[in-house]
Structure 1
Amino acid sequence: MKVLWSIAALLVLSGCSSIPDPIKANDGETLVSYTQALENPQQTVGQRARWGGVIAAVNNSEQGTVIEVVNFDLQSWGRPLASDQSNGRFRAVIDGFVDPMVYKKGRSITVIGTIAEPQQGKIDEYRYLYPVIDVSGKYLWKEIKETRVEVDYSPLWFRHQFYAPPYYYYPRTRVVPARTQKSSGNKQ
């Protein structure tokens, strides 16, 4: 019986951390990390990598699409873990057109492909050497909508506006939809 529970737990856990098919690597394949490519750009050219982050810009041309991505570490299932500390930026080169309204600034993306020669560029006025990845697979992550949850600690008789002894005191969870703040400008 313990063996069956162990197998069931293993299946559930492996299902939770599975990587989406478009960005899966072959079994046993060694992938180059972003920091390795940043530190040794010439030695990592031609090797496979899976990187991700938040889209900073999308540029379409006749030769294909270049997506500039702010790199963040990946979680075990491949989703970038955005934080206040960025590892740097990279360029993801995609054959064909990518709609900039779908792949818009601020969305999370993970790509897999082959590392190409680094490219010189600028971030504002700062000269920057971009690691480049020729994309063979990409995955655009769904936006996370945050929900605020509050606990109502008021007594039962107060909540229902009636007197009903005995007075049970238990918390009640209430889901409050998240509010989006829109700037209304200066109205005078």
Structure 2
Amino acid sequence: MHKTIIAVAVMFLALTAGCAPVISKDTLKTVDRDIRFQDVVKDPGAFTGRSVAFGGTIMDTENREGTTVIEVLQEGLNSQLKPVEPDESAGRFLAELEGFRDPAIYAPGKGITIAGEITGTERRKFGKGSYNYPVIKTREHYLWERRGYEPEPRIGIGIGLGYWHID
């Protein structure tokens, strides 16, 4: 009986481990969830000093003195704050993180969720023109695996040749 209870508890913890928030509750309390990225792009100055949670796909990572700036193609976030692949994006933003972040880890194609404060804009060359990027000083972030990448091991449940995966 005791072993059954332990087995059920371990299974419950394994199944619910993926449900933990990627950004802490304390940080999420400071975030204004009503701020839409589209509105920030149109008038970044109106949102300077406001806390937001945005996410998307990393396009580039640049190390500067004491900070790392990550260029992100914005995507909507699902209920777990994970970026969802967009059919279209409202634009790009720069996430400023303290310290050195290795560009091989913070690589193009990986997803990222950030929470932080809008500090202004940075104008950068983009194609043959230029783009005014909203800049967010990141308080917390979460780095997601590349799209299509399935980390191992996965939990398999089933009998015989058929089985289900719990991701």
Note whether the superposition's TM-score is higher than 0.5.
yes
Provide, for residues 68-122 of structure 1, a one-character-per-residue CA deviation record: whole Å limited to 9, x for no partner.
Answer: 0000001111000012312210000111100111110100000000001111112
Name 2:108's counterpart in structure 1.
105
- The separation in 2 between residues aligned to 1:29 and 1:106, in whole angstroms, is 26
Quick one: which amino acid aligns to residue 145 of structure 1? Y
Q: 1:20 aligns with which of 19, 22, 34?
A: 22
Q: How does 1:125-164 map to 2 (within 5 A)?
A: 125-143=128-146, 144-145=148-149
Runs of at least 4 residues off by over 4 Å: 14-18, 172-175
Asked which structure has the greater RCO (Cα within 8 Å, sep 6+), the reply is 2
Name 2:127's counterpart in structure 1.
124
Provide, for residues 27-57 of structure 1, a one-character-per-residue CA deviation record: whole Å limited to 9, x for no partner.
Answer: 4852322112112211100000111000000
Q: 1:37 aligns with which of 32, 37, 40?
A: 40
Whether the aligned pair in 2 keeps the contact of 1:58 and 1:100 (CA below 8 Å) is yes
Q: Considering only aligned residues, what root-mean-square deviation do their CA atoms show, in Å?
A: 2.6
Whether the aligned pair in 1 keeps the contact of 2:73 and 2:92 (CA below 8 Å) is yes
Greater mean deviation of Cα atoms: 136-145 or 110-119: 136-145
Asked which structure has the greater CA Rg, the reply is: 1
- The separation in 1 between residues aligned to 2:50 and 2:96, in whole angstroms, is 15
- The separation in 2 between residues aligned to 1:124 and 1:118, in whole angstroms, is 18
TM-score, reference length from structure 2: 0.72
- The separation in 2 between residues aligned to 1:23 and 1:84, in whole angstroms, is 30
Name 1:95's counterpart in structure 2.
98
Q: 2:47 aligns to what SS in structure 1?
A: coil
More helix by share: 2
- The separation in 2 between residues aligned to 1:106 and 1:28, in whole angstroms, is 28
- The separation in 1 between residues aligned to 2:71 and 2:100, in whole angstroms, is 15
Q: 1:65 aligns to what SS in structure 2?
A: strand
Give the total of aligned pairs.
Answer: 137
- The separation in 2 between residues aligned to 1:61 and 1:27, in whole angstroms, is 30
Quick one: which amino acid aligns to residue 89 of structure 2? S
Q: Unpaired runs of 5+ in structure 2?
A: 1-15, 151-160
Q: Unpaired runs of 5+ in structure 1?
A: 1-13, 147-171, 176-188
Q: 1:73 aligns with which of 76, 80, 84?
A: 76
Identity %: 30
